[in-house]
Chains A and B, each alone.
Chain A
Amino acid sequence: QSALTQPASVSGSPGQSITISCTGTSSDVGGYNYVAWYQQHPGKTPKLMIYDVTKRPSGVSNRFSGSNSGNTASLTISGLQAEDEADYYCSSCTSSSTYWVFGGGTKLTVL
């Protein structure tokens, strides 16, 4: 069982917006501004989409945005496109001995 909880799947139609949640505790998501989000297409290496809760690396579309409220972080993708279909993972630093934890992943389907 993953330390951070994500929905197994979400779906949306092209052009719509979707939000993926990532729920942790005050020891990780709620305690640090180090939440990150990754996109992974089948057979590919994970790609960092959001770091430090809200920051986008250079080259990442501004259709991707991150936020945090208490122990739950969220990734919002606006203007869904077919190429957004992928697995998405969240991660956070943690004060536990594990030090860094990931969510179990969410499969995004673009209908």
Chain B
Amino acid sequence: EVQLVESGGGLVQPGGSLKLSCAASGFSFSGSAMHWVRQASGKGLEWVGLIRSKTNNYATTYAASVKGRFTISRDDSKNTACLQMNSLKTDDTAVYFCARTLGGGFYYWGQGTLVTVSS
């Protein structure tokens, strides 16, 4: 059974940093690209970024809204993907999901972790 479990969310002040983790199991993590998607309360879904597999040189791509502030990494030995978030803004307040695709859609989702950016 595929499982994705996010952790690391919490309350942080504007300008601060936070690191989220996504622990994966039940599939070939090392061969899979991993995505992060977020959803502010009462709002729609927003793609944040992805990290590709070793085969694709662990290349990363980010949404314009987070580029230069967020960094995605992975540790294939621990089946874990991470989202390092710096220079956080109040607009970054959201539930953050890690996800894995099936074809061109996000099929596997974690339960999400809440990030609140507030003073």
Contacts and interface: CB of A to CB of B under 8 A. Distances in A.
Contacts of B50: 99-100
Nearest to B111: A45
A98 interface: yes
Contacts of B46: 102
Interface in A2-39: 2, 32-38
Interface residues of B, number: 20
Contacts, number: 70
A77 interface: no
- A interface bracket (residues with beta carbon within 8 Å of B): 20 to 34
Interface stretch (B70-78, B80-88, B100-108): B100-108
Contacts of B35: 100
Contact of B103 (A34, A38, A103): A34
A93 interface: yes
B115 to A, nearest CB: 16
Interface of B: 35, 44-47, 50, 61, 63-64, 97, 102-107, 109-112
18 contacts: A35-B104, A36-B105, A37-B105, A38-B105, A45-B110, A45-B112, A48-B102, A50-B105, A55-B103, A57-B107, A93-B104, A97-B64, A98-B47, A98-B64, A102-B47, A103-B44, A105-B44, A105-B45
